[in-house]
Every structure is written in C-alpha cells, then in structure tokens.
Amino acid sequence: MMLDFTVCDDKNVEIGSIKRKFISIGDKYEININDTSKKELVLAIIVAIANDVNRNQNTSNN
C-alpha cells in the first residue's frame, strides 16, 4: 500500500509531505515540513493518516 501524501494549507500550498522508503529494512518514512510554523499541524495530520492506513491494512489482512 502506498503511503505518499502531501499536506496543503487552505490556499493549496504544500506545507508538508510523507513518503514511504521502499529500499529499507522495516518501515521507514521521509517526512518533509515546508512551513515550520505549522509543524505540529503537519505532524498531527501525518500521524492520523499513517494510523488510518495501518488500521485499514490490518483489517484487510484479517
């Protein structure tokens, strides 16, 4: 399952992103925060997305 997302503000300007690294042992992600004044918001959104994706993966595997 892909885990590449972009987080945009209300003006559709990218303020952060997450990309899953495939050439690694285990799950590794690259998180970029373009607007550091909104870093808490970006991280909260990314954590929520990652939790939802993981929950959906676990549900579909059972």
Residue 19: in which H helix or E strand, if any? strand 14-21
Question: Taking the chain, what is the end-to-end CA distance rounded to the nearest angstrom?
Answer: 16
Please tell me the predicted confidence (pLDDT) of residue 51: 83
Do 5 and 17 meet the contact criterion of CB atoms below 8 Å apart?
yes
Would you write out the chain's pLDDT as a tens digit for each of its 62 residues?
567 889 999 999 999 998 877 776 766 788 999 999 999 999 999 888 878 877 877 777 66
The pLDDT score that the predictor gives to residue 36 is 92
Domain that holds residue 11: 5-61
- As for how many domains the chain has, the answer is 1
Q: What are phi and psi of 12, to 5 degrees?
A: 65, 30
Q: How far is CA 31 from the centre of its chain?
A: 7
> What per-residue confidence (pLDDT) applies to 11?
95
d(CA 27, CA 25): 7
